[in-house]
């Protein structure tokens, strides 16, 4: 399903129904006690969000509004919203659903392990190292096994394979990314967490290598991986694609923010675009 980018979000605004775009910061990925606030047990409903533990977590975390915008976008179906009023400030937040990856959790049931995993993968896929809001295509299955809908037009628009994401942030098992295409030393991207060649650049997301090495496709004709296995555990995966404009190459005549001056012809040392 294509995810449209928007202008930078004001995560402290009262109405955030339209603010769940693709620029979650790395700081937000720590979640800072998401597993302890009772939300995974109480469900993604009004009652679950009204608990004292959730209010305490929300008040203590500066990134809470941003995190919740993405949690709701990933977990709750499109057309639905979830609202929360802070006991500390009185501010009411409204977040819009999108992919519907966790139908049971969205309906008020405790989050299953599969729902925690696929929502974690979705959160990682929506993270941007640079805090940019980038349009992407998110492919895979919901926790219930339903395919995320996509079209031939979507695949044509988002023609560049990018990465696959998996893990379980709620269970503190880690978040992982793997490349779905080769990235040469001359190339760089606005979506560095999925395509990076540097393993330590997107903590807490760890880039482990290539999708082909760790992940499998349930149907080889499909444009996405269904599961990835790492450290002996298998997780559901979210596969992403981007538009060609999100990939840069040293020598294209523009010194991109992902490139650096130097005597070479790599992204980190691009004389042709950025000078010596």
Summarize pLDDT for 226-251 with one digit per residue, the tens.
999 999 999 999 999 999 988 889 99
Tell me if 230 sits within 8 A of 249, measured CB to CB.
no
69 DSSP 8-state letter = H
Tell me if 59 sits within 8 A of 86, measured CB to CB.
yes
* pLDDT bucket at 12, cuts 50 / 70 / 90: very low
With 50 as the cut, is the pLDDT of residue 134 above it? yes
Mean pLDDT of 178-206: 80
| Burial (0-12, 13-18, 19+ Cβ within 10 Å), 255 | middle
Mean pLDDT of 24-53: 64
pLDDT tens-digit map of 75-106? 999 999 998 888 888 889 999 999 999 999 99
Strand partners, 138: 240
41 DSSP 8-state letter = H
Q: pTM of the entire structure?
A: 0.86
To 10 degrees, what angle do helices 64-75 and 113-125 make?
120
* pLDDT bucket at 169, cuts 50 / 70 / 90: confident
Q: Which residues contact 17 (CB under 8 A, 6 or more apart)?
A: 81, 94, 95, 96
Tell me if 107 sits within 8 A of 76, measured CB to CB.
no
> Chain-wide mean pLDDT for the chain?
83
**Would you kindly state where each structural domain of the chain is located, as residue ranges?**
2-242
Q: How far apart are CA 115 and CA 76, in angstroms?
A: 11
Q: Which residues contact 178 (CB under 8 A, 6 or more apart)?
A: 163, 164, 207, 208, 209, 210, 211, 213, 214, 215, 228
């Amino acid at each position: 399903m294509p995810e449209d980018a928007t202008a930078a979000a004001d995560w402290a605004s009262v109405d955030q129904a339209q603010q769940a775009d693709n620029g979650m910061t790395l700081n937000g990925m720590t979640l800072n006690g998401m597993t302890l606030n009772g939300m995974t047990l109480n469900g993604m409903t009004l009652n679950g969000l009204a608990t004292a533990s959730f209010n305490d977590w929300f008040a203590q975390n500066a990134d809470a509004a941003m995190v919740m915008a993405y949690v709701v976008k990933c977990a709750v179906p499109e057309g639905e919203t979830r609202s929360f009023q802070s006991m500390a400030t009185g501010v009411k937040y409204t977040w819009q659903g999108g992919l519907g990856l966790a139908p049971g959790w969205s309906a008020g049931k405790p989050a299953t392990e599969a729902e925690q995993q696929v929502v974690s993968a979705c959160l990682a896929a929506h993270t941007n190292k640079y805090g940019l809001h980038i349009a992407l295509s998110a492919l895979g299955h919901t926790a219930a096994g339903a395919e995320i809908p996509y079209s031939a037009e979507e695949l044509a628009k988002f023609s560049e394979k990018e990465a696959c994401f998996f893990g379980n942030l709620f269970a503190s098992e880690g978040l992982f990314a793997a490349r779905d295409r080769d990235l040469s030393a001359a190339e760089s991207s606005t979506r560095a967490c999925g395509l990076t060649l540097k393993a330590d650049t997107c903590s807490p997301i760890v880039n482990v290598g290539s999708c082909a090495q760790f992940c499998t496709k349930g149907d080889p004709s499909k444009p996405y991986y269904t599961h990835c296995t790492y450290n002996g555990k298998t997780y559901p995966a979210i596969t992403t694609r981007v538009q060609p404009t999100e990939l840069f190459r040293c020598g294209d005549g523009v010194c991109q923010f992902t490139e650096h001056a130097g005597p070479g012809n790599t992204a980190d040392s691009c004389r042709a675009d950025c000078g010596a």
